[in-house]
């Protein structure tokens, strides 16, 4: 179930409104620019698409892709688990769960047979308050909700053809009906999120993720990347693991920057995912007008992994141009057991020592954030290239010392959702 898209680009604006702080203190803020600069707001093609109605969402459940409806295949199931993504993703799980519960009730599955597991992958566990933010208070009070543990309570189900060990959450492995719930947004290695990704890395072990994230990316560097899905070995490996683990159905949504649902894709986790990706490419694709002196990239809505906002710099920044990162989330960079820093000179298995400048295409990086830790500042790069500002006007004044009339500025208002213009697979 989906709508149609059109390109959105607004030129010569002097103030742009962006959304910040997903889930916690979510709000809009205004960014003002000097009147003598040329400012282009680069919106995604689907920016103005209307959200789906409840009737349209229900229709997607009635017409799944590659499977029969959940209400048919869940009959006589005794243990049902719903996997959901964490607060690093904008999936409005609380909005979508009633449709899943409706399908399960029609299959005769009682509430006592249902549990939910947070598919956090390598991220930190969720608190009760965060589970309520994601799922809704009624769900947390009515059903058992568990955090995944990537170090313990795992079941060995074998290996994929690329030698990835399929070690899966014990609670998930013990259920006879497995449903995934997530969103399809651009991803820097898997191409797009969604589909089988809810299982690998979602509820897999640290050893599984080491082979999947580290070994495969080194082995197939040219086939892994932002918005690349076809023939992507990382994507294919996670799909094979999900088949081995018995993932039955996935419900994926395509969203706008307000967490409103523009498309719903239900069914087999490969077939529904490819249909969702083709729609997502049309929604998220973003036109550009050459290269710019300054790129302003907003990390919203995937603010806890803000490096995912970096892609426009590779495509559209002039040589020796500057990047401004809008990073206004309360929780900062998500603790990541595979890539995170855990000491002065060590970290996870995919850790990279701080010091290297993360925006190699840029001359400097400016971070607009209310709060920023020393570790986070060091992670972005050396002090002579990374500058932190709490006040937007102070940041602009600093840039004005280097840029005069005619400066070209592009604003990507929700860069972690956006992608360059792509053709459907």
Question: Tell me: the pLDDT tens digits for 324-349?
Answer: 999 999 999 999 999 999 999 999 99
Picking from 181, 185, 218, the residue whose alpha carbon sits closest to that of residue 202 is: 181
pLDDT tier at 220, thresholds 50, 70, 90: confident
Confidence (pTM): 0.94
- pLDDT value at residue 13: 60
Q: How far apart are CA 355 and CA 385, in angstroms?
A: 10
- pLDDT value at residue 395: 98
289-318: burial string, b at 16+ Cβ within 10 Å, e else: eeebbbbbbbbbbbbbbbbbbbbbbeebbb
Picking from 21, 19, 28, the residue whose alpha carbon sits closest to that of residue 331 is: 21
Q: How many CB atoms lie within 10 A of CB 278?
A: 17
pLDDT of 14 strictly over 60 = yes
pLDDT tier at 231, thresholds 50, 70, 90: confident
pLDDT (average), residues 300-328: 94
The residue assigned the tokens 């603010």 is 303
Higher-pLDDT residue of 420 and 55 is: 55
Q: How far apart are CA 323 and CA 317, in angstroms?
A: 8
Question: Tell me: the pLDDT tens digits for 250-270?
Answer: 999 999 999 999 999 999 999
Question: Tell me: the pLDDT tens digits for 346-391?
Answer: 999 988 887 788 888 899 999 999 999 999 999 999 999 999 999 9
Whole-number CA gyration radius for the chain: 21
Is 218 within 8 Å of 138 (Cβ atoms)?
no
pLDDT (average), residues 215-237: 81
In whole numbers, what is the pLDDT of the chain averaged over residues? 93
Query: Is the dihedral angle over the CA atoms 145, 59, 186, 12 positive or is it negative?
Result: negative
Question: Tell me: the pLDDT tens digits for 80-113?
Answer: 999 999 999 999 999 999 999 999 999 999 999 9
Most confident of 223-232, 344-353, 410-419: 410-419
Tokens of 63: 């017409």
- pLDDT value at residue 334: 94
Tokens of 222: 């040219």
H-run or E-run covering 347: strand 346-347
Question: Tell me: the pLDDT tens digits for 266-285?
Answer: 999 999 999 999 999 999 99
pLDDT of 232 strictly over 70 = yes
pLDDT of 50 strictly over 90 = yes
Is 181 within 8 Å of 85 (Cβ atoms)?
yes
- pLDDT value at residue 11: 52
pLDDT tier at 224, thresholds 50, 70, 90: confident
- pLDDT value at residue 425: 46
* 110 burial via Cβ count (<10 Å: 0-12, 13-18, 19+): exposed
pLDDT tier at 249, thresholds 50, 70, 90: very high
């Amino acid at each position: 179930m989906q709508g149609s898209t059109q390109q959105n680009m607004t030129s010569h604006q002097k103030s742009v409104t962006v959304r910040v702080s997903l889930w916690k203190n979510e709000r809009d803020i205004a960014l003002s620019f000097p009147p003598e600069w040329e400012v282009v707001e680069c919106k995604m093609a689907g920016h103005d698409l209307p959200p789906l109605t409840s009737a349209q969402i229900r229709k997607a459940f009635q017409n799944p892709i590659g499977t029969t409806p959940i209400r048919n295949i869940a009959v006589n199931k005794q243990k049902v688990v719903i996997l959901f993504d964490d607060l690093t993703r904008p999936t409005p799980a609380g909005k979508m769960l009633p449709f899943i519960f409706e399908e399960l009730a029609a299959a005769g599955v009682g509430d006592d047979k249902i549990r939910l597991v947070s598919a956090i992958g390598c991220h930190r566990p969720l608190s009760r308050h965060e589970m309520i933010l994601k799922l809704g208070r009624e769900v947390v009070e009515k059903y058992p909700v568990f955090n995944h543990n990537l170090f313990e309570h795992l079941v060995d189900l074998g290996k994929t053809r690329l030698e990835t060990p399929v070690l899966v959450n014990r609670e998930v492995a013990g259920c006879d009906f497995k449903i995934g719930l997530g969103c399809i947004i651009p991803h820097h290695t898997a191409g797009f999120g969604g589909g089988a990704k809810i299982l690998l890395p979602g509820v897999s072990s640290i050893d599984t993720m080491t082979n999947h994230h580290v070994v495969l990316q080194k082995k197939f560097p040219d086939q892994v990347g932002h918005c690349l899905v076809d023939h992507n070995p990382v994507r294919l490996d996670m799909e094979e693991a999900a088949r081995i683990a018995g993932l039955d159905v996935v419900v994926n949504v395509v969203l706008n920057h307000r967490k409103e649902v523009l498309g719903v894709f239900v069914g087999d986790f490969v077939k529904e995912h490819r249909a969702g990706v083709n729609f997502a490419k049309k929604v998220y694709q973003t036109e550009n007008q050459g290269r710019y002196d300054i790129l302003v990239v907003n990390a919203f809505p995937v603010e806890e992994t803000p490096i995912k906002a970096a892609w426009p710099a590779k495509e559209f920044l002039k040589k020796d141009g500057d990047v401004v990162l809008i990073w206004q989330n309360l929780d900062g960079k998500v603790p990541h057991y595979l890539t995170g820093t855990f000491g002065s000179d060590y970290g996870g298995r995919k850790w990279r020592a701080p010091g290297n400048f993360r925006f190699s295409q840029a001359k400097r990086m400016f971070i607009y954030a209310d709060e920023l830790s020393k570790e986070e500042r060091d992670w972005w790069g050396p002090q002579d290239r990374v500058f932190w500002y709490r006040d937007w006007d102070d940041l602009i004044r600093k840039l004005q010392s280097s840029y005069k009339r005619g400066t070209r500025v592009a604003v990507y208002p929700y860069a972690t959702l956006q992608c360059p213009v792509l053709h459907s697979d």
